[in-house]
Chain A
Amino acid sequence: MLTYVLKTLWRHRTRTLLTVSGAAVAMFVFCFVGSVQEGLTRLTSGADADRSLIVFQENRFCPTSSRLPEDYSRRIREVSGVRDVMPIQVWTNNCRASLDIVVFNGASPDQIQRTRPVELTSGSWSEFSSQRDAAIVGRNVAQRRGLTVGDQFSIGDISVKVAGIFSSSVPSEENLIYTSLEFLQYTRGLDAAGLVTQHEVLLSDDADPDVVASRIDEVLRAGPVATTTRRKGAFQASTLSDLIDLIGFAHWLGYACVGLVLSLVATTTVMSVQDRIKEYAVLQTIGVRPFRAMRLVLAESVILCLTGGVTGTLLATAALAVGGFAIGAEGATIAFRPSVSLLATGGIVSLLVGIVAGVAPAIQAATVPIVNALQEA
């Protein structure tokens, strides 16, 4: 009977192709929206986001406006529950929301190697540590900008030599470029000698992040610049708050895509059944059970939906894997990455939508008044 279903779809191949391609486009968008949301969730609630703190200048949001003394790190290190502190100078080419944001983080190369979840896929740490203008570049940035080890990369007043390309288990890291702290502090135009944008605090295992954060702000209150210390996830959520609102709205776009696939496949299946209502009457006359007729129609809609949906999902996965897309604002970035859960969601949603889209026409085919349908011209 599957032959019958497949041949029926092939018989109306233009209609089938249009429906499948429509479903593919809609599921492509659905997966893209899903990847943005997954990226945001990873950024704001991953292990890295919960077990480290960011000390930023009070009432400042953009990296260019936060200027903290570098030696705050010494005082922060004395706070109970702090395992390590990394002073970071941040430079970004764009404080506003952008799809091609370039973010430099200047920090001690030794500390970067020791504390950041990065792994060089090419290049060497020794070159990065020994050369003043050397930089290691996140895989996504390298992909977007076409950078390889040995290249010279210039943007604004900054010019670095690519000493390595790294990947990371934290996708947003792959949108960063790391340089040494001194290099970024002394870059023309920054005038940041002895100053950093933020301090990243790594907590000991038993430390309560919120208690430590309050304690750090208390200790630094006596200093020349007041600070606000938050969990890294909360800091990034606050930094990206405008984008988060937009992304929250965009999830409706994802649902709209599912609705689009549903109506598209349902329309095609209804048309297909109505065109062949006499065929279903003939099938039931020769002994096909109503429930079997129903299954034939459901198979038709599920095949349409799965073919389109899975194609769209695979294309989205490929685009996300190859494109290295990210959106960022004020130095924080959300990476769009493919994932197994996204693939599974695309497949499951396609299957469910295929079943739902086929229910009404399947019932129509199963309950066709046989005699009346046979009398149709």
Chain B
Amino acid sequence: MALVELKNVSKSFTKGDETITPLDDVSLEIHEGEFVSLMGPSGTGKSTLLNLVSGIDRPDSGTIAVDGTEVTRLSRSKLADWRAANLGYIFQTHNLIPVLTAYENVELPTLLLKLSSSQRRERVELALEAVGLTDRADHYPRQLSGGQEQRVGIARAIVAHPKVVVADEPTGSLDTETSEQVQVLLQRLNRELNITLLMVTHDNNAASIASRQLTLDRGKFREPEEVVA
């Protein structure tokens, strides 16, 4: 059974007089432990798809299920609970809370779960260790480099042990060297921790680290290419 399952999902919106349909009756299955990259020209619905999978946007039609839970049927509050327990989101621009330290930023999702303070501490320390930022735990986002901020963002996305992690152009705002470091980190998290990843990217190199590459064009998937690891 697929971990993430999209069935006949459509989404459109109007911009002025124009109706844009970024997703037109698309279906997709992602299995546990898979690392899927999603490419395509700007405005073709990659981020829209990511938002629908993460439940922060709703489709016009079709269904989306993650690990058997049909997220399209959940209320806004239930969706929040579901995201806290099941989904990690890596933003392009990190979106760390500026008044909180790296440790506190990573700790945030764990505050939403029923965990003891020692369990929380253990998870946060493991997540920071996984992204190699244990020594930056007390730093504020403004005291970190772009790459370090993104790594804190990744630690925040994995700290709650989610079933699936979505990443919206995680290397989009980084220089080449830092971008490669983040790619290696994502690949390692997928392989070593068996984290299921769905990543939107414009970068062919970043896409190439995924086990499956998909391309969206004019609201439809092009034939997926299986990549031999």
In the assembly, what is the distance between CA of A370 and CA of B87, in Å?
16
Residues of A within 8 A of B95 (CB): 278-279, 282, 374
CB-defined A-B contacts under 8 Å, sample of 7: A4-B100, A7-B99, A10-B99, A286-B84, A288-B112, A290-B80, A370-B57
Interface residues on B, range: 20 to 34
Chain B residues in contact with chain A, CB under 8 A?
51, 54, 56-57, 76-77, 80-85, 87, 89, 91, 95, 97-100, 104, 108-109, 111-112, 156, 160
Q: Counting CB contacts under 8 A, is A289 at the interface? A: yes
Contacting pair B57 A286 (CB below 8 A): no
Contacting pair A286 B99 (CB below 8 A): no
Q: Counting CB contacts under 8 A, is A169 at the interface? A: no
Q: Counting CB contacts under 8 A, is A3 at the interface? A: yes
Q: Counting CB contacts under 8 A, is A371 at the interface? A: yes
Contacting pair A3 B104 (CB below 8 A): yes
Q: Counting CB contacts under 8 A, is A11 at the interface? A: yes
- Shortest CB distance A281–B (Å): 8
Contacting pair B56 A371 (CB below 8 A): yes
- Shortest CB distance A19–B (Å): 17
- 8 Å CB contact of A11 from B82, B83, B99, B112: B99
Q: Counting CB contacts under 8 A, is A146 at the interface? A: no
Contacting pair B51 A287 (CB below 8 A): no
Q: Counting CB contacts under 8 A, is A241 at the interface? A: no
User: Assuming A370-B57, A371-B57, is B81 touching A289 (CB within 8 A)?
Assistant: yes
Q: Main secondary structure on chain A at its contact with chain B? A: helix
- Shortest CB distance B157–A (Å): 8
Contacting pair A285 B56 (CB below 8 A): yes
Contacting pair A287 B91 (CB below 8 A): no
Contacting pair B80 A284 (CB below 8 A): yes
User: Assuming A285-B89, A287-B112, A290-B76, is B83 touching A8 (CB within 8 A)?
Assistant: no
- Shortest CB distance A293–B (Å): 9
Contacting pair A374 B91 (CB below 8 A): yes
In the assembly, what is the distance between CA of A287 and CA of B98, in Å?
18
In the assembly, what is the distance between CA of A291 and CA of B78, in Å?
11
- 8 Å CB contact of A282 from B97, B112, B160: B97
User: Assuming A284-B56, A285-B56, A370-B56, is B77 touching A290 (CB within 8 A)?
Assistant: yes
Closest to A366 in B: B76
Contacting pair B98 A11 (CB below 8 A): yes
- Shortest CB distance A295–B (Å): 13
Other CB < 8 Å A-B pairs besides A279-B95, A284-B56, A287-B83, 11 of them? A4-B104, A8-B99, A279-B97, A283-B97, A285-B54, A286-B89, A286-B156, A287-B81, A288-B80, A288-B84, A371-B51
Within 8 A of B (CB), among A321-377: 370-371, 374
Contacting pair B85 A287 (CB below 8 A): yes
Contacting pair B51 A7 (CB below 8 A): no
Contacting pair A4 B97 (CB below 8 A): yes
Residues of B within 8 A of A246 (CB): none
Q: Counting CB contacts under 8 A, is A1 at the interface? A: yes
- Shortest CB distance B23–A (Å): 13
In the assembly, what is the distance between CA of A344 and CA of B76, in Å?
39
Residues of A within 8 A of B57 (CB): 370-371
Contacting pair A3 B100 (CB below 8 A): yes
Closest to B113 in A: A287
Q: Mark contacts of A1-39 with chain B using CB atoms, 8 A cut-off: 1 yes-contact digit, 0 otherwise.
A: 101100110110000000000000000000000000000
In the assembly, what is the distance between CA of A271 and CA of B108, in Å?
24
- Shortest CB distance A349–B (Å): 29
Residues of A within 8 A of B104 (CB): 3-4
- Shortest CB distance B103–A (Å): 11
User: Assuming A285-B56, A285-B89, is B77 touching A1 (CB within 8 A)?
Assistant: no
Contacting pair A7 B108 (CB below 8 A): no
In the assembly, what is the distance between CA of A290 and CA of B84, in Å?
13
Residues of A within 8 A of B77 (CB): 289-291
User: Assuming A371-B51, A371-B56, A374-B95, is B83 touching A286 (CB within 8 A)?
Assistant: yes
Residues of A within 8 A of B156 (CB): 286
- Shortest CB distance A359–B (Å): 18
In the assembly, what is the distance between CA of A282 and CA of B89, in Å?
9
Closest to B97 in A: A279
- Shortest CB distance A370–B (Å): 4
Contacting pair B80 A7 (CB below 8 A): no
In the assembly, what is the distance between CA of A8 and CA of B91, in Å?
22
- Shortest CB distance A174–B (Å): 50
Within 8 A of B (CB), among A264-279: 278-279
